Each structure stands twice: as C-alpha cells, then as structure tokens.
Structure 1
Amino acid sequence: MSKLRQFQPYLLLMLILPALLMLAPNSEAEEESGWEKWRPSGKSANFKIRERPKTKILSGTKTSLLIAATSDLHGSLTSTRLLLRKRSRGLLHLVMPLKKLREKYPELILLDAGDTIQGDPSSFYFSHVAPETTRPLPVIEMMNWLKYDALALGNHDFEPPTNILKQNIAQAQFSWLAANVSFRNVKQPLFPPYKIIERHGVRVGILGLITPGVPLWIDPEQRKGLNFKEMLGTAKKWVRVLREQEKVDYLIGLFHSGDNTLYDRDVASTRELPHPNAAGMIADFFPEFDLIISGHAHRISPKRRTEKLKGHQTPLVSPGTAAEGLTTILVNFEEKSGNWEITKTVYDFIRAEKAPEAQLLRKLDARLLKVEKYLADPTTVILKRFPKKTEFQDCGIALSFSAVESMEAETLSLLPWWWFRDKLPFSDLGQALRREHFFRWLPYDNRPVLVLMYGRQIKIMLESYRRKKLGWYARSSTILAPGGFVAELDNSSKDNRLYLKNPQGQALRPERKYRVWLTNFHWNGGGGLAAKALLHPSQLLKKEALHLRELIFQYLRQSTVKLPETCESFLTQSTTATLKTVP
C-alpha cells in the first residue's frame, strides 16, 4: 500500500493533464502568424531551381578554391568595446586576416553557420531598445562590409523580434539559407535552400540547414506556423537537385547543427522532434557532400593546419564562436575525364587579431557609443569586494527570486542556478553595479514566465539541482535553483530525495498547485525539464516582457532596495547614488 501511495501524485498528473489538453485553446489556429505573408527580400529573394549545363573544363586544367567560415557570431564585434575581454574576438578582429586572404585568393567564398544576430549588447540594444529601420544590426553591417556570401539561419536568430530578423534579411548583402524551414503545409521552403557560386570555373553549391530543435528553445509566437523539418531527409532531397539539376562540382553543407548526435537527442525525443544535432550523421551517410561546415556547438575543429580530418566520412569543420577565429579550407582541383577532381585539401584555423581594425571601428563608433551609455546605467548597489564563487552563485539565485517576487507576491521560482562569473577590473570596486555587469553575468535573453505547477512537478524539475547537491554530474543548463522555498536532501532516505518546504518549515504538498516563475527557455522545453515534469500549455499564467537580467537590474535601481542576506557580504546599497537613465 505504501508503494501505491508513493505513485499517487504521478497517477493524479496522468489523469488531470489529458483533460487539460482537451480544454486548452488552439492558439495556433486563433492567432495570425507574422510569417504568413512574408517572402524573403534582398539577396535572399527570388530563389529558383535551374537546369544548368555541365561545367566545361579544359583538359589538364588545375585550379584552387579558398573557403573561409565563421559560426555562432552572436553579434560579436570586438573584445575592446562594450564588454571588455582579455581574449581577442569579434568580426573587427578578423578584418586583417580576411584582407590578407583576399589578396592571395580574390575569389574567396565567405560563409557563416548561423546564430548571428543575438547575444552581443549591440544586437540587443538595436533589436529591443532602439531599433533603427534604415540600417541593419551592427553585426550584419560588418558582414556586408566583409562581403559574406551566405549564412545558414540559427535557432537564436529567431529570438529577436520577428520584424528585426526580417529587416536584417532584407538589408543583408548575402543570402540567408534554411532548406528545412517551411510555413505550415507549404512544400516550398520559406527561405532559399541553397546558393550557387561559380569561382575559377568551379560551380559550388551551398546547402543551408538549421537545427530542427528550434521549438525547444524559441517562444511559440516567434516561430508560429513554421515547420522545422528533419535534416537527413531534407538533405537527401536537395542533394539530388544540386547534383542532378544544378550540376554543382563542389557541394558544401552549411549547417547550424552540431556533429554530436547524442547531444539533446533525448530532450528532442520527448517532444517528438528530430535529431537537433545531425551534422555528423549527414557527414557519415551522405558522401555526396564534399564539405560540411557545422555550427551550433561552439566547437573549433580543426584547431591547427592539417590535410586530414578524423571522425567522419565527409570532411566536417567547426569554426567556433564569437569570431574568435576563422576556419579556412583550401581545395585544389584538377581536370580528370571532363570533371573536377579534388587532389588536395588543406584545413586551418586562423586566430583573431589582437586589435580591431581601426577604420571600420570608427564607422561603428557612433552606434557603439549609444550602447555603451545604455550599459553604463548604474544601480543603487555598490560592489564592496569581489565575491567567492559560492557567494556569487548564492547571491545571484537570491536576486533572481527577489526580482520576480517584487512583481507578484506569494510566488515561488525555479530560475537558472548558473550565473557567469566574469573577472571584473579592480576599478569596479567601490562603484555601483551597472547594466553592463548583468549582460556579463546573464548573457542569455531569457524572460520570466509564471506557471501554475503541482508540487510534484516542482520536485521533478529540481532533479539536476539534487544531483548537484550530491556532487554528481548535472548539465548546467538544467540546474534550477529553488526560490521562495527550501529544497534539502533527505539523508534518511536511501535515494537521497529532496524535501521541499516553505520558509515557515511546512512541506510543499505534491498534489497542491503553486505559482512558480520559470524562464521561457525552460518553459519552452530547453533542457527537457518541462517534458519530464509533464508541464502543459494550460498551466501558463503569464509571460513578462522584460528580460530576467533587466528585471534584476531595475530591481536594484530602486532607492530603497532590500538586498538578500546572501549578497550583503560583498554588496551594499548606496545612500548617495544618483540614477541617470539613457534617453
């Protein structure tokens, strides 16, 4: 009987949630999609499949082709402005390396594997704070100046307002590719699936694919009506077109998808989504490709010059993140029996220059100054000393809860445990915390959402937190910290279960409902926690417009803010702070 009682909460959830599913409104049908009447413009417009004749190659001809690639730029411009960093990174640091390569290889092909317009404060500012309709985001402006040829859309590119993504596609002087994105039941892809480039007599096909795991991370309203199809079947379809109709000589897969098939596979399967990271599978099973450029995983491969790549049947390279360098592929061709034959390929990774290119930096200066003023806005809280790691994490958890609770009392929270602890300059000691600090500590654009949850669901979503408390491995993005209640290990039980109680010492009841703050990332399915806890759309109470880091920043701008006890050892409230807001 005791075992039956143990499973009663699970049985209750199984009985209740199907009923909620039947009662939940079909918001997809009721609301219009921002993508319904949209068609790509600019360099991404007017895609059309062509029946091309085979390339004519003179007998005995030899040639070479240089391909350069970046990925996961996340808006990064320079490590010397906005958020200063010791390690050189950003597109401005790649200007000189690219200039030297173009001097030797004027017909260089320059590509990017996605996650381009979200992440850097400059992208955030001109997407959410002060959009400029007459100019693209600074990162796209830089890519135009650097003469990129194409990029593959990434999941984070759907995070800014939809009109910002559309505007930047229109104003880009290169193509945005995504063969596996369609609108509702339309068979034709919404974005151009590929691009054809002819250089030195070699016809190059570039097929773009995005991870189909987008629904795990991006808000439904941002992707309403969009279908993200599995990559293998899509690749098979378009490879046939590119080889048989376009008759390309060299085929590149430009994929915003990692090559570790196991990563996020289980998370996606709970939502019946295809493999989010299928680039490696395509590299293993599609020899029709000559090269695959894989983004999304923020991995660099290879890290140095080599003529041999290990791991996959088709050569696969990964260019890293934030323009910390440039992956190059030098391909040598020779005519054999009327076709181009690859005789040698050299792979390399060129690190970013220490200093940004001065002339282009000056062209961006006026825009960067606006962002720097925005980042310089102070709170009323002073940094007394640099905190230890545990102090920093505990304070961050407490501040997150205090900020969301200030919007609505008698709520709980399950917010990210991780805050990124950047090393700050000594000049910050004795100074007010600024908005800049919260962009460092909370780099993701997460928003709070309020959810009506059962106590049993709360405990399920704290499983990674439990593992962390036991000293076991837990993926950092799945560790949620309790706010407004305590989660202690029950050492009396063999399986070290968590005991949940409110500040008064009363236990949280498994069958009772509680109002709980989550981030939209975890609510949407990131980390797989929502699926494990059987969260249902009908449990959503509201979404906040402010991002979590901005909410915490505004909370600490109050003239009489009460700091959590866990923060008082290294933070204190200023009695003389004068707040200035950037107009």
Structure 2
Amino acid sequence: MKRFSCFVIGIFLLMGVLPAQEREVKLKIVETSDIHGNYYPYDFIHRKEAAGSLARVHAFVQKKREIYKDNLILLDNGDILQGQPTAYYYNYIDTVTRHLAAEMMNFMGYDAGNMGNHDVETGRAVFDRWAGDCHFPVLGANIIDTATGETHFKPYEVLERDSVKIVVLGMITPAIPVWLSENLWKGLRFDDMEATARKWMKIIREKEKPDLVIGIFHAGQDAQLMGGKFHENASVEVARNVPGFDIVLMGHDHARECKKIENIAGDSVLIMDPASTGIVVSNVDVTLKLRDGKVVDKKVNGVLSETKNYGVSEEFMQRFAPEYDAVQNFVSKKIGSFTETISTRPAYFGSSAFIDLIHTLQLEISGADISLAAPLSYDTEISEGDIFVSDMFNLYKYENMLYTMNLSGKEIHDALEMSYNLWTNQMKSPDDHLLLFREQRREGAEDRASFKNFSFNFDSAASIIYTVDVTKPDGEKVTILSMADGTPFDMDKIYKVAVNSYRGNGGGELLTKGSGISQDDLKERIISSTDKDLRYYLMQYIEQKKVIEPRALNQWKFIPEEWVVPAAKRDYEFLFGKVKK
C-alpha cells in the first residue's frame, strides 16, 4: 500500500496536479544611521550620560534576535566615524589597533555598512582602514575609483534568509566635493545617485533575481542642486523614479521619517530615516509568502523604535571597557584655562566671545586679512576655568582643515549677504522675528532647532566693521564700513581670507551661489591649507597660551537697534527659554 501511495504521488508530481507548497518567511530589518561616534551611552564632550549609542542599539537588537534569530538583518547607513572623541581617538591617535567602530560593529553582527560624508571626511587612510577591519561589506555603489572606473567599495550585498534573496544597494550623496578637501578622497569620484541606481538595479534584477531590494542611502529627502552640479539629498527621488526598491533607508539629514510613497511603476516603497546617534532605529517587518519557492505576496511595514526602552547592553559595555577607559584618559588631559564662560547662544544675535575666539585663532594661525566663521554646534557652552581635550570638541565640532583663500572685497560682501539671508528674517515691523525660523520642525532634527537653515552656515566676519540691516530685503542687508583698523574696505581689492575647508570647498554655497565663484574655480583660490584639522591647531594654540581671555570683538551688529534689541530678546527666549536671573 505504501509503495502504491508513493507511486501515485510520483505520478501526480509529474502531472503537476498536487497542491502548491506554501510557506511564510518573516524578516526583521534594523537600520542605524549617523551614529557620529556615539558608541557608548556617555557623552565624552560634555562629560555626562547620553541618550542613544551603539550600546543601546545592541540591547535592542539582541532582544529582537531572540525572536528572529538569523532572520534579523542589521544595517548601518554611515557617518559613524566622526562626532565624539571615541571616533577621533581611533581615527588619529591609536592607529595601530583595529578600529573601535569596526570591532563594535563586528561584535554586534552588522550585515552591511554604508559610507557617509563624515566618514569620507576622516580621510582615505582612516576610512579604508576601518572598512578593512569590518567583517561585513561597506557599500558604495556610486564611489568610483578614477584609475579603474570600478567601485571603490562593494556596490551591493546579497543576503539569503530561509531561501529568500535580499539585495542591499548602498550609495552616498555625491556632493562630497562641495564640502571636503580633495586630498581626503583623492583618486575617487562620487556619481549621481539616480543614474547609479538605474545602472545597478538592472544588473541586480538580471543577475540576482532578488525577492527583496533594500536601498541604503546616505542622503536625505529634500533634494537640491549643490555646487551647480551635485544632486544632494536625492533618496526619495531615487525611490520614486527607479522602480525595484521595496525599502529605502535614508540618513544624513538627522531627521526622523517613516512613510510610504508610490514609485512611477505604481509600487509602494517604504521610506525610513532614524535621525542620529542611535536614539531611535528604523525597525522594519517584512512578511513574504512563498509558493513553490517563489514569492507571491510581500508585506513591508516599518516603525521608528526608541532604544532607551531596551536599556544598555552590559555585554557590550564589558567587552569594550578598556577602550572606554582609553578615550576617557585622552579627553581628560588639561590643555589650558578660560577666564570667561563662552556659549554659542549669543552668536545668533551679534558679535560673541565664542565665535570671535574662532576668528582670532583663525587669523593668528593663517596670517589672513579677514576671517569667516560660523557656530558649528547649534547650542553649546565651554565654562570658565580649566580647559580639557574634551572641550575642544565643543569649541570645534568637525575635522575641518583651515584654508587661506584669495577673495575680492565684493566676494566677501556677497558671501556675507547670503549668510545673513539664511540667518535673518526681513523685519517689516518691530514685532517680527529677527531670526529666520522654519514653519514646522521635523522630529529628530535637534541640530537645526527651529532655524529654517543650518546654523553652521551663519558666517560672520572678523577684521572688518559692518552692519546688518534686517529691515532690508535679501542681498541688501550688509554694509561694510571699514577694515577693523579704520582703513578703507575696498570692494575691488583681493584679500587673504581664513575659512574652514567646508566653506572653502563650497559648503553652504556661500562662496558659489553667494559670491558667484564657480565650483571648479574654488580650488584655484586656495593659497594654503593646514595639513591637520583645525581642532588640532586650536588645541596647540591654547596649550601655548595657557590662559585664554575670550571676548567679543564687537566688529559687527544688527540694525536698527530700536527694533532688533527687543526682537533678539524675544527670539532668544523662543529658542532657549528665559534667561535665569
């Protein structure tokens, strides 16, 4: 009887009349992005406990792995190598041991990483070393080796889970040349995201025949053209215009997002962005129904999950305790003292001791005629008294070089006009805002607060005397009265100007869109560049001086004062609350 049954089943199999075999596969996909050195639940800059961190992400992931086992896919979306002294220490101080970020990500079981612009900012020696230390591929489909024409990193990764084939395609914003000195990425180029996605989607479909396609893009969702040729923040455009993606995981803009859009083929694409520092993660559930090994139904849903609810992974903290101690020792070194407390808060309303200290140092280091600088951190303070290495990350947030550039008086003026256009409202009455605020704030975008534009593009100048009339329209606000020593300021004269490398490469477009210098011509204006980041030289300067007396230079102001003084008080309270008496 048994033999007869087997014979009948065999006949039915040959005839193809047996019921189809169906099964269901559940996947969990977790994305981190813009961790910015927040590996531990401790802020080494401000010396206090911190939200987010890889330690909390690990606790979250381990809890989910109890349910999903190997069907949990963990992805990182870049900007992990810059921000906290933890990253800086293993980028530039301890370059012998395996990079801490790689060791932690290996320990956590990441399946793939992606390059971010601040990872590129660390320089090829650092990011290539880190990628080499990772036990998973770091992706970059649009990062091209100019010598070979091939991708410098793997363009995509193929993962198989329960016979389901998942392809992860990684890309970075192509606007790197607008922000970063070419010596940091020499031998590479950054191609357009949409063109790159079209190329690789065709290859992926034909060669891999995937069941699920995930795009992991270090780019935000508000697309814009930068430097006249780089399509920045094109993630949503790629998701919409290049059919084939089921999920697009974003980063870069530090703003939370979770939504579905319809692409041009009429298919739904899940769009997610977990903002920054690991406070939340993108948490995606995928359910696939398979019939005879082929996907016949697919459900994709996502939520942004808070990591604080899962605590801190003790296993993680114990494993990386020695590295924690090494970083703590590094940031605890005293380098000098300040006679006054300085804060970025007053910098939005006029000349301030915080920004003018940066100006003073830039002028002394470079020997330039004029300095341009902005508040790189939205809201930060350095207290009077002893100054430690940790405070240097407060004073200067990014690993920018210092450039000295040739700019005409008119180009300086026009760059300032654009800066204050980004910065200030046009006041039509005494009751209006002085500062330019956005109508609606995106959750998670704390580093922009309520400003319409990024405050790291709010350049002021030193060594010139000028006023900013906020009742005037865009392009007519700035009046330069003289040089700081009383000599005339000449619109036609060429001045040596100290700027950070972000600005000098076209970052914020103050020198391109504002001053009218083409992106390609900017490099011809650079007279000199430091070979180390500006923070290094600031640290050296303070160590040599030992005691710093920070003060506002009072070389510029907003007018008319009868309007701006009460407006500044209102806007200060709007941003920071009432001043304590």
Q: Under a length normalisation based on structure 2, what TM-score does the superposition of the two structures give?
A: 0.79
Measure the CA separation in 2 of the matches of 1:120 and 1:491.
36
Q: Would the alpha carbon gap of residues 457 and 561 (structure 1) be closer, same or farther in structure 2, given more than 3 Å must change?
A: farther
The one-letter code matched in structure 2 to 1:483 is A
2:29 is aligned with 1:67: yes
Measure the CA separation in 2 of the matches of 1:391 and 1:357.
39
Which of 508, 517, 527 pairs up with 1:527?
A: 508
User: 1:155-190: per-residue Cα shift (whole Å, max 9, x none)?
Assistant: 211111322212111110111111112122634322
Measure the CA separation in 2 of the matches of 1:74 and 1:63.
34
Q: Is the 8 A contact 1:128 1:161 kept in 2?
A: no
Measure the CA separation in 2 of the matches of 1:164 and 1:290.
33
For residue 337 of structure 1, report the CA deviation from its aligned partner: 7.4
What pairs with 1:69-84 in structure 2 (closer than 5 Å)?
69-80=31-42, 82-83=44-45, 84=47
Measure the CA separation in 2 of the matches of 1:563 and 1:387.
14
Secondary structure of the residue aligned to 2:232 is coil
Q: Would the alpha carbon gap of residues 60 and 479 (structure 1) be closer, same or farther in structure 2, given more than 3 Å must change?
A: same
Measure the CA separation in 2 of the matches of 1:176 and 1:492.
50
Secondary structure of the residue aligned to 1:253 is strand
Measure the CA separation in 2 of the matches of 1:336 and 1:558.
72
Q: Would the alpha carbon gap of residues 385 and 499 (structure 1) be closer, same or farther in structure 2, given more than 3 Å must change?
A: closer
Secondary structure of the residue aligned to 2:304 is strand
Which ranges in structure 1 are unaligned for 5 or more consecutive residues? 1-56, 303-307, 569-583
Which of 346, 352, 355 pairs up with 2:307?
A: 352
Find the counterpart in structure 2 of residue 397 from structure 1. Answer: 355
Q: Is the 8 A contact 1:283 1:292 kept in 2?
A: yes
Which ranges in structure 2 are unaligned for 5 or more consecutive residues? 1-18, 427-433, 437-452, 555-581
Which of 393, 406, 410 pairs up with 1:456?
A: 410
Secondary structure of the residue aligned to 2:254 is coil
2:544 is aligned with 1:558: yes
User: 1:274-305: per-residue Cα shift (whole Å, max 9, x none)?
Assistant: x1221101211223111111111112223xxx
Find the counterpart in structure 2 of residue 321 from structure 1. Answer: 276
Find the counterpart in structure 1 of residue 4 from structure 2. Answer: none
The one-letter code matched in structure 2 to 1:326 is V
Measure the CA separation in 2 of the matches of 1:254 and 1:338.
27
Find the counterpart in structure 2 of residue 268 from structure 1. Answer: 227
User: 1:440-465: per-residue Cα shift (whole Å, max 9, x none)?
Assistant: 34321122111122111111111234
2:67 is aligned with 1:104: yes
Measure the CA separation in 2 of the matches of 1:277 and 1:458.
28
For residue 101 of structure 1, report the CA deviation from its aligned partner: 0.5
2:127 is aligned with 1:150: no
Q: Is the 8 A contact 1:334 1:341 kept in 2?
A: yes
For residue 394 of structure 1, report the CA deviation from its aligned partner: 0.7
Q: Would the alpha carbon gap of residues 146 and 485 (structure 1) be closer, same or farther in structure 2, given more than 3 Å must change?
A: same
Q: Is the 8 A contact 2:408 2:491 kept in 1?
A: yes
Find the counterpart in structure 2 of residue 241 from structure 1. Answer: 203
Secondary structure of the residue aligned to 2:527 is strand
2:87 is aligned with 1:123: yes
Moved more, 182-191 or 442-451: 182-191
Q: Is the 8 A contact 1:181 1:191 kept in 2?
A: yes
User: 1:513-536: per-residue Cα shift (whole Å, max 9, x none)?
Assistant: 211100000111111122232163
Q: Is the 8 A contact 1:382 1:433 kept in 2?
A: yes
Find the counterpart in structure 2 of residue 506 from structure 1. Answer: 487
Which of 526, 539, 544 pairs up with 2:525?
A: 539
What pairs with 1:121-200 in structure 2 (closer than 5 Å)?
121-132=85-96, 134-136=97-99, 138-184=100-146, 186-200=148-162
Q: Is the 8 A contact 1:464 1:475 kept in 2?
A: no
The one-letter code matched in structure 2 to 1:316 is I
The one-letter code matched in structure 2 to 1:527 is G
Find the counterpart in structure 2 of residue 309 from structure 1. Answer: 260
For residue 410 of structure 1, report the CA deviation from its aligned partner: 5.7
Equivalenced residue count is 495
For residue 143 of structure 1, report the CA deviation from its aligned partner: 0.6
The one-letter code matched in structure 2 to 1:110 is L
Find the counterpart in structure 1 of residue 182 from structure 2. Answer: 220
Query: Cα RMSD (Å) of the superposition?
Result: 2.8
For residue 381 of structure 1, report the CA deviation from its aligned partner: 2.2
Find the counterpart in structure 1 of residue 250 from structure 2. Answer: 294
Measure the CA separation in 2 of the matches of 1:261 and 1:408.
36
Q: Percentage identity across aligned positions?
A: 24
The one-letter code matched in structure 2 to 1:286 is V
Q: Is the 8 A contact 1:466 1:498 kept in 2?
A: no
Q: Is the 8 A contact 1:251 1:290 kept in 2?
A: yes
Q: Under a length normalisation based on structure 1, what TM-score does the superposition of the two structures give?
A: 0.78
Measure the CA separation in 2 of the matches of 1:388 and 1:210.
31
Q: Would the alpha carbon gap of residues 213 and 409 (structure 1) be closer, same or farther in structure 2, given more than 3 Å must change?
A: closer
The one-letter code matched in structure 1 to 2:523 is P
Name the structure where strand makes up a greater proportion of residues: 2
Q: Is the 8 A contact 1:420 1:441 kept in 2?
A: no
Secondary structure of the residue aligned to 2:144 is strand
For residue 85 of structure 1, report the CA deviation from its aligned partner: 4.9
2:394 is aligned with 1:443: no
Measure the CA separation in 2 of the matches of 1:380 and 1:63.
60
For residue 246 of structure 1, report the CA deviation from its aligned partner: 1.0
Secondary structure of the residue aligned to 2:110 is coil
Find the counterpart in structure 2 of residue 432 from structure 1. Answer: 386
For residue 497 of structure 1, report the CA deviation from its aligned partner: 3.7
For residue 311 of structure 1, report the CA deviation from its aligned partner: 7.4
Q: Is the 8 A contact 1:268 1:276 kept in 2?
A: no
Which of 257, 260, 267 pairs up with 2:219?
A: 257
Q: Would the alpha carbon gap of residues 241 and 363 (structure 1) be closer, same or farther in structure 2, given more than 3 Å must change?
A: same
Moved more, 488-497 or 407-416: 488-497
Secondary structure of the residue aligned to 2:379 is coil
Q: Is the 8 A contact 2:337 2:546 kept in 1?
A: no
For residue 348 of structure 1, report the CA deviation from its aligned partner: 1.9
2:346 is aligned with 1:365: no
Q: Would the alpha carbon gap of residues 208 and 222 (structure 1) be closer, same or farther in structure 2, given more than 3 Å must change?
A: same
Secondary structure of the residue aligned to 1:78 is coil
What pairs with 1:3-18 in structure 2 (closer than 5 Å)?
none
Measure the CA separation in 2 of the matches of 1:216 and 1:152.
20
Q: Would the alpha carbon gap of residues 311 and 433 (structure 1) be closer, same or farther in structure 2, given more than 3 Å must change?
A: farther
